[in-house]
Amino acid sequence: MFEIGKPNLTPETRKGLPGSFVELPTGVTHYELKGDPDGRRVVLIHGNAAPYVSWDNTIEDLVDAGLRVLRYDLVGHGFTDRPRLRTYDKALYVKQLAELIDRLNISYPVSVVGTSQGGSIGACFAAANPGKVERLALLSPLFDDVAGSGSPLVKILSTRLAGELLLQLGGDSKLSDLSNRISSPDKKAVLESEVAEQLRFRGKRRAILANVRGDSFTNPTAAYEDVKAQGIPTLLTWGTQDKLILEDSMRRLRDLLPDIEYHEIDGAAHLAHYEYPERINPILIRFLTRPASEEAPIRAVG
């Protein structure tokens, strides 16, 4: 795709960018790891709307609560590599996270917090790594349906050449628009400016298409069923003004996981954790720091 004048992400262009970088078999990954080295390990997985900057209003409160927190950019997002693959699928994202945890010498088990597609990736990671995830927090996660996933726009993006042409015609401001994800104009403007930073570098449009053409909208119910089978304590939050992850989908997830801890955030849109950290963070901290004696044991699989 034509991105005239934009630099590639290289060691040179990454100089001065925030966070840290590590070379993995899946490519260079952008991450931040902070907090008490002896604290409970927590991994934050962002969704498609915004890269790891979407955790800006979350990470410090978790660290202050004594947790050891890792946030990172998924393949194709933020300042992580954008490999030239036809599709990016859940297996790739699960592999990236496993590689990152191993390379950073983070010991298991870990707790995982995922939002939107990051929620389904978290569930898939737990399913692929039995016994390694001790708690799973899902913030408006992708479950069995996403508003607009079957729309003509998504079908066009999924079509070779037509998708490339459509994305080429759309400007960077359109790709960083969060109008249907955040209600507050002030917070929307701040996060949009952060999201726009990733568009300064070549390959973001190609990565968007690879994600859409992969299994990002494929029903991950089997992974959630595995979470249930393992007995992993699970938290769910959902904003009543979420236009992407709909209430019926969350109701079906709660039916599938009847022991899930559920919190409805009145008036919140899709990125509730960014827009209302004063409401979400205390819920997360209570869940993530709860004594293990108060949780049911994780059941072995197999």
C-alpha atoms less than 13 angstroms from C-alpha of 254 in its C-beta half-sphere: 15
pLDDT bracket for residue 2 (50, 70, 90): low
pTM: 0.92
User: Is the pLDDT score of 297 beyond 50?
Assistant: no
- Please say whether the beta carbons of 55 and 89 come within 8 A: no
Express each pLDDT in 123-175 by its tens digit. 999 999 999 999 999 999 999 876 544 445 455 455 564 445 545 656 667 77
* CB count in 10 Å sphere of residue 163: 21
Burial of 222 (0-12, 13-18, 19+ CB in 10 A): exposed
Q: Which domains does the chain possess?
A: 39-47+55-60+73-95+107-117+134-285 (3.40.50.1820)
pLDDT bracket for residue 302 (50, 70, 90): very low
